Structure 1
């Protein structure tokens, strides 16, 4: 049963890595649950510090995943219309059945929001939309790096206790 939990945990960590690119899957929470499953096995001693610290960062990164693209819009000169457009575009982009909708959505949302704010300034709207896209890429990179760190912790803990799994 312990080996089954460890395998399921590894599958969740890998799904979390994939989820760091696909907004349909919550990447960091999936990876953290995979790590938790490993710690719930008998061969691995519970380490509340590791689980607590990684849970804290999982929550922070999950929140920042929604904040960073809108802050990118703001940093590149976008108005509150562009920030709202980014957030709405992200949500709509997830559900629109087009390839890359979750990437295109925030960009288009920021652009449309800025055009509603000032329909004469196309250059500013494009700059704000670019900021949204860069924010999305930064958010994706942070999630990927964090999920890879959780995979590293998972592998280290598993291999330190591997002999107990196969005894």
Structure 2
């Protein structure tokens, strides 16, 4: 049973690493589930500090995944229409079956929102949409970074308990 949990945990962590930049796969939350599965084995002693801290990081970064693109829009001069457009575009991009929808959605949403706000100022709309795109890329990088850290934690725990696991 321990070997099955170890394999499933490793698969979850790997899926999480790929999911940090492929939007159709779960990212950091999948990595955390992988750590949880590792700690459910009898060979690895439970460490509630690691599980709790990594869960807190997962929750914070998951919330930031939705906040950062909107903040990027605002930082690049976007109005509240652009911020709302970014958020709506992000939701549509996640749901829509188009390639790179999670990248295109917020960009187009911010652009459309800014065009509704001021239809004559195309430069402002493009600037706000660029801020949304940069915010998304920053969010993806942060997600990837923490997924790799979670992978390192997973591998370190497996290495420390290798004689009990194998």
* TM-score, L = length of structure 2: 0.97
1:7-52 deviation digits (Å, cap 9, x = unpaired): 1000000111111113333311110010011011111110111111
1:50-101 deviation digits (Å, cap 9, x = unpaired): 1111111000000000000000000000000000000111111122222111
Match of 1:79 in 2: 79
Residue 16 (1) aligns with residue 19 (2): no
Q: How many residues align?
A: 166
Match of 1:137 in 2: 137
* TM-score, L = length of structure 1: 0.97
Match of 2:105 in 1: 105
1:123-158 deviation digits (Å, cap 9, x = unpaired): 000000000000000000000000100000000000
Instruction: Work out the CA distance in 2 between the residues paired with 1:23 and 1:97.
Output: 11
Q: Runs of 5+ in structure 1 lacking a partner?
A: none
Instruction: Work out the CA distance in 2 between the residues paired with 1:165 and 1:18.
Output: 25
Question: Cα RMSD between the aligned structures?
Answer: 0.8
Instruction: Work out the CA distance in 2 between the residues paired with 1:160 and 1:97.
Output: 43
Match of 1:39 in 2: 39
Match of 1:116 in 2: 116
Match of 1:88 in 2: 88
SS in 2 for 1:26: coil
Match of 2:154 in 1: 154
